Structures are given as C-alpha cells and as structure tokens.
Amino acid sequence: MLRNAPKFYEIAKRIIEITEDCVMVAHNAQFDYRILSLEFDRLGYNFDIATLCTVELSQKLLPGHTSYSLGKLTKALGIAMSKRHRADGDALATVALFKLLLAKDTKKEIITAAVRSFPKKHMDTKLKELIKQVPSETGVYYMHNINGTIIYIGKSKNIKKRITQHFTNDNRKSKKIQDEVHAVTYEETGSELIALLKENEEIKRNKPKYNRALRRSKFKVQLSEIEDKDGYIRLKIEKADARKKTITTFSNIASAKAYLDRIIDSYNLCLHKTVYDKKQEPCFNYTLKKCNGACIQQETPASYNQRVQSFIDKHSYKNKGMLIIDKGRKIDERSVVLIEDGHFKGIAFYNLNFQINNLDILKSIITPMEDNRDAQNIIQSFTRNKKRLKIIPLDELASKQ
C-alpha cells in the first residue's frame, strides 16, 4: 500500500492548506499531533494546530466503557465501521464518534476546555531536542532522569529511529518514559552483535526501572543432545534449561523447528532421531533416500553419530577458542568478541592497521564481560544467522605467533 505512496514532503504543503485555521480531531490526538509535528520539524516548519482528542472526550462524556479504543468504542455505540485500521475507515468512524460527542456536550463546557494545543514548550520540545542529539547509527542508548539515573537501556541499528519510536509511542511504559526522561546518551558500536552484548551486560549491571522485562532471558527454547538406549545421538527441541546439555538456543519454537529442519536436510539425519519419537517403521526421509537408516538400525550408531557430531562441533563453541570479527564504529575499525575455552571473555575495537596476531596484546584491549547464559545465547544466535562474520580459531592465531 505504501510502495507508490507519496513522500511526506510531497504532501506537506497540502496538509498545511487543509488544516489552516482548523481544529484537528483525532482518536488519541497527542500521538497524531506529535508525528505530524516531528515530520514538519524535519522540513524546518513549525506546525502548530489546536487539537481535540476523542479518547479524552469519550472518557468524560461517555463514562463506564471497559475500553476506549476506537474499534471497541464504536462497536459498543453501534457506529458502523468499515476498513478498520485504514486511514479513511478510521477517520470516518472518528467523525461519527465526534458528532455523537458534540451532541452529548449540550453545555459545550467540556469541548471548550478540551480544545487546546499540546504544550510544545514543555514535553514536546524536550523530546524533539533529545531526538536531534542522537545519531542514526548502530549502538546502545541510555535514558536518564533529571538526577542522571539511567531509567532505560536499549540497542538499535538506528538509534535516532528507535528513540523517535519511544517518544511517539502511546503505550503506558512509553508515556512514563516520555514524562521522566531528561537526557539521552549513547555509545556507537557499529556492530549489532556488540550492541546486543553491551545491552545485555549493562541492563544486568544497572537494573534500569523500565527494563524489567529485558532482565529475563529472551531465549526460551533450546536444541539439546541425548544418547538413546541404542547409542544414537538424538537432537531434541525443548524448553530452555541450563541444567541440560545445550547445543544452541532460540527465542521461540518456530525458529528452532525451522533451524532443525535445515540441519536434518544438510546432514541427512533421521527424522525419528530428531523431530519425532522412535518408531518401528522407517522414517519419511528414509523413503526419500535422505536418511541412511538409523531409524531401523540399518546405519550404525558410530556412522550416524559422526555426522551429528560434525554438526555439533560446527555450531557449538563449547571448549573452543575463537575471535568473532565484525564491523567497527568507523571504516578503518573492526570489533572483536573473544571466546576462550568455550567462555565469553569480552569485546574490543581495533584499528585495521593493528594486526590481531598476539593473544596477550588482544587480551589487554578486551573489555571484560560476564559469561552468562544470555551472552552465550546472543553470540550463538547471531553467529548462526549472520553468515558474513569472520571467525578466527585461537589455535590458528597461536600458530602465527
């Protein structure tokens, strides 16, 4: 729908023309007003218009409703609504609701009091200035209250875009952040992996009040290995459990299943030893000649396990040492993540003129980080999905010294 739509600057003049000397009526007007105001700010134009919010008016004039969302409210009031969540459908429904509210407000006292321009000199100006101060780069950002205390930490591939989303969202948490935020600081990382690791480390260390949900692990599912009674290594998707032998982790069951399907296909694994419980008959892959017969013990455990183990060795960094090289903050810089003996040690940035061939020198520039389960999950997930990362085994580095 948006592919051939005009850009904002192409219609900005028309918006000014049709809104001149008018009052803007919207369901949750503060959100719409702020979006328009931000867009006009980018064009260097001060968009200032009186507004009426049908959410606020409905709460005053139509008390007692369980929800004041446009869809639920219009349904409760018997207002016909077509093309829900489309501009014209929502606008026409808002018109019908507004007419009803005008009829309810017989004294016009509430309408008169509600007509106002949002206080741009207070909150909106503050938020716009904060947005201007951050870059459109990859990194970690920190929101501070008036005392300097960090109240929220986040990461983004585009910090400015993400901060703008925080300041234009109208959910409960965003509104609280908008009211409380006094300053935004940031640290560019260049690499999304570094940003993810820094966000994880610093949320756990600082415990910001609005990051409560992110203190819990995002990785709910794991791929585990067990050996069955016949000696075959089985791959199993299950709920994440630190007590069990884990190969890699996932944020949800769907991504875990999709990944396992690819592994089964790539390594000619048996369906009965992975997705399904063991059955007496051959698995479906055996009939397609994609399984060598582990399901009916036609392939020996030693032969089958060799392929499974080659997958595990490739996709797990247990007992491994490696450097994961990614983009840096500048063109002539790279970032590095150090894994030693299967443990995450920390991160660093280095100039391209600096050759990483001495482990002692490398360790001296590494910023140490905690080797917790979330950090391991982030690294495994990122390296699994990003094929262009450069990975250097530490034993290869040692051989060059």
Q: Are residues 126 and 197 in the same domain?
A: yes
**What does the angle CA 345 – CA 337 – CA 325 come to, to the nearest 5 degrees?**
160
Q: Are residues 201 and 233 in the same domain?
A: no
Q: Are residues 265 and 334 in the same domain?
A: no
The pLDDT, as a whole number, for residue 213 is: 57
The pLDDT, as a whole number, for residue 388 is: 76
Q: Are residues 274 and 290 in the same domain?
A: yes
Which residues is 235 bridged to in the sheet? 225
- The beta strands (E) that lie in 71-172 are given as 139-144, 150-156
Kindly tell me if the per-residue pLDDT of 161 is higher than 60. Answer: yes
DSSP-derived letter for residue 283 is P
The pLDDT, as a whole number, for residue 84 is: 72
pTM score, two decimals? 0.64
289 Ramachandran zone, left/alpha/beta (phi>0; psi -120 to 50) = left
Please give the average per-residue pLDDT across 301-328, as a whole number. Answer: 87
Q: Are residues 98 and 186 in the same domain?
A: no
Higher pLDDT, 121 or 186: 186
Q: Are residues 92 and 126 in the same domain?
A: no
Please give the average per-residue pLDDT across 282-299, as a whole number. Answer: 88
Exposed/middle/buried for residue 58 (C-beta within 10 Å: 0-12, 13-18, 19+): buried
Q: Token pair 């979006």 is at which residue? A: 35
Please give the average per-residue pLDDT across 121-134, as a whole number. Answer: 78
Q: Is residue 3 part of a domain?
A: no
**Domains of the chain: total:** 4
Q: Which helix (H) or strand (E) holds 175?
A: helix 172-180
Amino acid at 33: Y
What pLDDT band is residue 117 in, cutting at 50, 70 and 90? very low
Exposed/middle/buried for residue 239 (C-beta within 10 Å: 0-12, 13-18, 19+): exposed
The pLDDT, as a whole number, for residue 111 is: 63
Q: Are residues 131 and 169 in the same domain?
A: yes
Average per-residue pLDDT for the chain: 84
Q: Are residues 261 and 356 in the same domain?
A: no
- CATH code: domain of residue 176: 3.40.1440.10
Kindly tell me if the per-residue pLDDT of 121 is higher than 50. Answer: no
Q: Is residue 25 part of a domain?
A: yes
Q: Are residues 31 and 95 in the same domain?
A: yes
Q: Is residue 254 part of a domain?
A: yes
Q: Which two tokens stand for residue 94?
A: 């808002």
Q: Is residue 50 part of a domain?
A: yes
Spatial separation of the C-alpha atoms in residues 301 and 260, rounded to whole Å: 20
CB 391 within 8 A of CB 383: yes
pLDDT tens digits for range 317-328: 777 888 999 999
Task: Name which of 224-238, 300-314, 387-401 the model is least confident about.
Answer: 387-401
What pLDDT band is residue 381 in, cutting at 50, 70 and 90? confident
Q: Are residues 304 and 383 in the same domain?
A: no
**Which among 63, 98, 114 is the end of a domain?**
114
Q: Which two tokens stand for residue 314?
A: 């490739």
Sign of dihedral through CA atoms 89, 90, 92, 93? positive
Q: Are residues 173 and 151 in the same domain?
A: yes
Q: Are residues 229 and 188 in the same domain?
A: no
- CATH code: domain of residue 24: 3.30.420.10
Q: Which domain holds residue 381?
A: 322-400
Q: Is residue 2 part of a domain?
A: no
**Which among 315, 346, 361 is the end of a domain?**
315
The pLDDT, as a whole number, for residue 335 is: 93
Q: Is residue 302 part of a domain?
A: yes
Q: Which two tokens stand for residue 3?
A: 């592919």
Q: Is residue 203 part of a domain?
A: yes
Which residues is 224 bridged to in the sheet? 236, 246
Taking each helix axis from N to C end, the angle separating 253-267 and 301-315, rounded to the nearest 10 degrees, works out to: 130
217: which residues sit within 8 A by CB, 6+ positions away?
Answer: 240, 373, 374, 377
Q: Is residue 336 part of a domain?
A: yes
Kindly tell me if the per-residue pLDDT of 7 is higher than 60. Answer: yes
pLDDT tens digits for range 193-243: 999 999 998 898 888 999 875 555 567 788 888 888 889 998 888 888 767
**Which among 293, 315, 337 is the end of a domain?**
315
Percent of the chain with pLDDT over 90: 29
Kindly tell me if the per-residue pLDDT of 316 is higher than 80. Answer: no
